[in-house]
């Protein structure tokens, strides 16, 4: 039998599953900032991405719905209670299992592979490489700490990966989790849709972006670089690559050290340096 040649929209495919982010957070409303606005907001609306918020407070069993507790050994501040978090993680894992069970068995999504991520300054630094790896996952569980953090045994037992945005301390993991969701979701092919801009973006090839210009042609006496008005697409691509090389050399020499430059790229960079030093 001939298989159907009708082209399916990706999201109409029986085996398509939105990527699921389960945010475990005491402040679930904060996630409206990613789920209701911009590119990720549209992906959520179009069911390419699901963001599911789970509040550990809903998994408490005492009258006061207590989610914090005092640290052993004393000291200032509180920690998050272990049991509500543990139950929240189990609930997040169950929600993905429920989705998997309605899919046909030849799906190449991998059930039971939900990764639990804890956002903290102790984690591995988030970069484009890690964002790309995360974008291949079907389900990420994002554990958002508050107060002074969570019990180390929960990290050891339940957390697959600790991820940091950088060497500074936020008052909670939510903003970090939203940064991660935004960066990962925009790499999903179905989110990109028509545009290829995320592929062409900074970092896919390890260089900074080139400068961008729009109207007016002259602003406060500053003109748009003439090559961009030339209509010569080859010259424009060449200029943009040179700008990317030059800006990386000026602002992020560490990026250039990691990158093997081709003969023509070395040429372009040498020319940029010459012009820069002449000024």
Q: For the chain, where are the E strands, in sequence order? A: 19-24, 49-54, 68-69, 79-80, 115-125, 139-143, 161-164, 218-219, 222-223
Q: Is 172 in the site for ligand 4GY (CB under 6 A)?
A: yes
- Mark the segment that binds ligand 4GY (CB under 6 A) among 22-30, 92-100, 117-125, 194-202: 117-125
Q: Judged by CB under 6 A, which of 30, 91, 170, 256 binds ligand 4GY?
A: 170
Q: State the CB neighbour count (10 A cutoff) for residue 217.
A: 11
Q: How many residues bind ligand 4GY (CB under 6 A)?
A: 14
Of these residues, 200, 201, 237, 275, which one is catalytic?
Answer: 201
188 to 247, contacts with ligand 4GY by CB under 6 A? none
Q: Is 121 labeled as catalytic in the residue annotation?
A: yes
Q: Judged by CB under 6 A, which of 18, 28, 56, 173 binds ligand 4GY?
A: 173
Residue 120 — φ and ψ, nearest 5°?
-160, 160
Q: Least CB distance from residue 84 to ligand 4GY, whole Å? A: 15
Question: What would the two tokens of residue 167 be?
Answer: 């060497």
Which of 127, 117, 116 lies closest to 93 in space, CA to CA? 116
| Chain center to CA of 270 | 34
Of these residues, 36, 47, 133, 148, which one is catalytic?
Answer: 148
Contact between 189 and 47 under an 8 Å Cβ cutoff? The reply is no
Q: Is 148 labeled as catalytic in the residue annotation?
A: yes
Q: Judged by CB under 6 A, which of 28, 56, 149, 246 binds ligand 4GY?
A: 149
CA angle 159, 188, 239 (to 5 degrees): 120
Q: Is 111 in the site for ligand 4GY (CB under 6 A)?
A: no
Q: Report the distance separating Cα 60 and Cα 190, nearest Å.
A: 38
Q: Judged by CB under 6 A, which of 119, 181, 188, 208 binds ligand 4GY?
A: 119
Give me the active site residues, please: 121, 148, 186, 201
């Amino acid at each position: 039998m001939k298989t159907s040649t009708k082209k399916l929209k990706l999201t109409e495919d029986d085996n398509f599953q939105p990527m699921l982010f389960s945010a475990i957070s005491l402040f679930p409303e904060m996630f409206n900032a990613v789920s209701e606005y911009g590119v990720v907001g549209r992906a959520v609306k179009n069911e390419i991405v699901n963001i599911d918020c789970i509040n550990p407070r809903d998994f408490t069993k005492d009258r006061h719905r207590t989610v914090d507790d005092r640290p052993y050994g004393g000291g200032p501040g509180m920690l998050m209670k272990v049991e509500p978090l543990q139950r929240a993680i189990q609930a997040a894992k169950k929600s993905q299992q429920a989705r998997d069970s309605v899919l046909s068995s030849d799906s190449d999504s991998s059930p039971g592979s939900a990764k639990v991520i804890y956002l903290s300054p102790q984690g591995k630094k988030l970069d484009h490489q890690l964002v790309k790896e995360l974008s291949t996952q079907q389900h990420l569980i994002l554990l958002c700490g508050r107060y002074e953090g969570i019990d180390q045994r929960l990290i050891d037992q339940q957390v697959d990966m600790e991820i940091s945005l950088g060497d500074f301390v936020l008052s909670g993991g939510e903003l970090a989790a939203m940064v991660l969701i935004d960066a990962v979701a925009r790499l999903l092919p179905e989110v990109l849709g028509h545009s290829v801009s995320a592929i062409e973006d900074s970092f896919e090839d390890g260089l900074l972006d080139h400068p961008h210009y729009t109207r007016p042609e002259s602003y406060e006496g500053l003109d748009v670089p003439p090559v961009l008005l030339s209509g010569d697409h080859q010259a424009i691509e060449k200029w943009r690559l040179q700008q990317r090389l030059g800006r990386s050399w000026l602002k992020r020499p560490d990026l250039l050290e990691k990158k093997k430059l081709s003969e023509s790229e070395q040429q372009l960079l040498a020319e940029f340096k010459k012009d820069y030093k002449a000024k």
